[in-house]
Amino acid sequence: MPRVKYTNNDVNLVARMMRAEAVGEGKQGMLYVGNVIVNRAKADCLDFKDLRTISDVIFQVQGGNYSFEAVQKGNLFYNRARSAEKRLAKKTLNFWRDHPAKYALWYFNPYGPCPDTWYGQPFSGQFKKHCYYEPQADTCASVYVGG
């Protein structure tokens, strides 16, 4: 059973976002971005209460901007999904999760060291240039369900 319900279009969206956000960090880095996307679709807390589909997650607008910079700026996100990224997208949609993004809802690429918190949420780890942050269990238990 997949971690979230998804369609072929969702696979393409996740694949395109993984590539756009983390192609420079290889397959592992792209899988971590996929974890964050799926975690946001599963979360029922904080800024992610009304997101139930992959499309909702990818095209979420907060403060007048898209949540994912790649949607806002265009770059690689608007290129066709490639088969390699589609395989990675299916992997994360179906089952793959790993630290530091296993429960992460946020990531970013700072110009310096990763801060200890991001909008009050604890740092869970770093992979190459991206810092990952997961919610505190008492504020977002739903992201920790299923494992």
Residue pLDDT, tens place only, 94-117: 999 999 999 999 999 988 999 999
Give domain status of residue 3, yes or no: no
Residues of the chain with pLDDT under 70: 147
Give domain status of residue 1, yes or no: no
Amino acid 83 reads S
- How many independent structural domains does the chain possess? 1
Q: Find out whether the peptide bond into 100 is cis, omega within 30 degrees of 0.
A: yes
**Which residues pair with residue 61 across a beta bridge?**
66
**Which residues pair with residue 125 across a beta bridge?**
132
**Chain CA centroid to CA 80, Å:** 19
Give domain status of residue 128, yes or no: yes
CB 92 within 8 A of CB 31: yes
pTM above 0.85, yes or no: yes
Give domain status of residue 65, yes or no: yes
Look up the CATH number of the domain holding residue 130: 1.10.10.2520
Q: Which domain holds residue 121?
A: 8-143
**Which residues pair with residue 123 across a beta bridge?**
133
Give domain status of residue 2, yes or no: no
DSSP helix/strand/coil, 5: coil
